[in-house]
Structure 1
Amino acid sequence: MDRRTLLGTGAAAIALGGGFLWTQRGQQGAGSNLLVGMANAQTAEAVEIPDMVLGSADAPVEVIEYASYTCPHCASFHANQFKQLKENYIDTGKVRFVYREVYFDRFGLWASMVARCGEGARFFEISDMIYEKQREWTASGDPATIADELQKIGKIAGLDQATLDACMQDGAFAQSLVGWFQENADRDGINSTPSFLIDGEKYANMSYADFASVLDGKING
Structure 2
Amino acid sequence: MSAPLLSGRRAFLVTGAALVATASVSFVRADDLPASDPRMGPRVIGAPNAKVIVDEWFSLTCSHCAHFSREIFPQVCKNLIDTGKIRYRFHDFPIDQVALLAAMVARSLPADQYAAFVTDLLDHQDEWAFAQNIDPVAELKKRAALFGVNAATFDRINADNALREAIINKQDHDGAFLQIPGTPYFRINDVPAPTVVGSYDDFAKAVAKAS
The two structures have a TM-score, normalised by structure 1, of: 0.85
Give structure 2 stretches of 5+ with no counterpart. Answer: none
Shift of 1:115: 1.4
- Please tell me whether residue 184 in structure 1 is matched to residue 183 in structure 2: no
- Please tell me whether residue 34 in structure 1 is matched to residue 25 in structure 2: no
Residue 164 of structure 1 is aligned with which of 145, 148, 154? 154
The separation in 1 between residues aligned to 2:158 and 2:23, in whole angstroms, is 10
The separation in 2 between residues aligned to 1:169 and 1:69, in whole angstroms, is 19
The separation in 2 between residues aligned to 1:150 and 1:17, in whole angstroms, is 21
Shift of 1:35: 3.0
Residue 50 of structure 1 is aligned with which of 27, 41, 50? 41
The separation in 2 between residues aligned to 1:145 and 1:61, in whole angstroms, is 40
- Please tell me whether residue 11 in structure 1 is matched to residue 9 in structure 2: yes
Contact preservation (8 Å) 2:193, 2:206: no
Q: How many residues align?
A: 205
Q: 1:43 to 1:173 in 2, by over 3 A?
A: closer
Give structure 1 stretches of 5+ with no counterpart. Answer: 24-32
Shift of 1:19: 5.2
- 3-state SS of 1:65 partner: strand
The separation in 2 between residues aligned to 1:95 and 1:169, in whole angstroms, is 36
- 3-state SS of 1:210 partner: helix
Shift of 1:44: 6.3
Q: Which amino acid aligns with 2:3?
A: R
The separation in 1 between residues aligned to 2:17 and 2:110, in whole angstroms, is 24
Q: Which amino acid aligns with 1:58?
A: N
Q: Which amino acid aligns with 1:34?
A: T
The separation in 1 between residues aligned to 2:132 and 2:181, in whole angstroms, is 24
Q: Percent identity?
A: 27
**What RMSD in Å do the two structures reach over aligned CA positions?**
2.0
- Max Rg structure: 1
The separation in 1 between residues aligned to 2:181 and 2:31, in whole angstroms, is 29
- Please tell me whether residue 116 in structure 1 is matched to residue 107 in structure 2: yes
Shift of 1:164: 1.8
Q: Which amino acid aligns with 2:157?
A: C
Q: Which amino acid aligns with 2:22?
A: L
